[in-house]
Amino acid sequence: CIENELLMMLRAEKKRSKDVSLNEPIGTAIKNSGFMIPPKRITINFSPANIRKTGTYFDQPVAVSILPDMTLEEQIEISKIQSVAGNLSESLVKTRPVRSPHHTATVSAMIRGGFNSKPGEITQAHEGILFLDELPEFSRQVIETLRQPLEDEKIIVSRSGGTYEFPAKFILIGAMKI
């Protein structure tokens, strides 16, 4: 009984000091299973069982599954953006957007704008995920274009026809093979 009390006290103290690490129980479980612990990192897949677990099919479902449900205001805002972009297929968008532009996408494709200004990939990912697969393959200009929208949660496009402000609150996920 005394040993159990001491153990419980130590665990409680550890939790209060916020020194608890997920690596301890995960590492112990991996060791106990007989597998070797990877020297660089451990990847944990929390995606549903019916989804492929390789490449983009692995990364996107994991990211989408941790996002909260959309509020009605978010559904309306995203529906407006999709309508202006010409992508609205139903009356109200019910799922968070996941945009995955090809690595050959240009700065123009990412921000759009123009005379009849439309939202680009960055704005279409608003309140969702912008997934850049093969991140090092994207041009330096495209990567640098992401800085301002990530900091300000909006994108300002200045063209000869005027200055446009689009919302750009998104989660950026980059993937690459190492």
DSSP state of 78: H
What's the number of CA atoms in the CB half-sphere (13 Å) around residue 36? 3
Sign of CA dihedral 139, 140, 142, 143: positive
Q: Which residues pair with 174 in a beta bridge?
A: 132
What pLDDT shows up at residue 142? 94
Residue 61 in any domain: the answer is no
pTM of the predicted protein model: 0.65
Same domain, 90 and 137: yes
pLDDT truncated to tens, each residue of the chain (178 aa)? 566 666 666 666 655 544 444 445 555 655 666 655 555 544 555 555 555 555 555 556 566 667 788 899 999 999 999 888 888 887 888 888 989 999 999 998 998 866 677 889 999 999 999 988 888 899 999 999 999 999 999 998 887 777 888 999 998 888 777 6
Residue 151 in any domain: the answer is yes
Same domain, 35 and 105: no
What pLDDT shows up at residue 23? 45
Residues 6+ apart with CB under 8 A from 82: 88, 93, 97, 124
Q: Which two tokens stand for residue 86?
A: 């010409």
Q: Which two tokens stand for residue 27?
A: 């590492």
Same domain, 39 and 76: no
What pLDDT shows up at residue 143? 93
Residue 138 in any domain: the answer is yes
Same domain, 26 and 105: no
What's the number of CA atoms in the CB half-sphere (13 Å) around residue 150? 11
Same domain, 87 and 146: yes
What range does the domain containing 40 cover?
1-44
Q: Quote the number of domains for the chain.
A: 2
Same domain, 88 and 165: yes
Q: Which two tokens stand for residue 63?
A: 């990211």
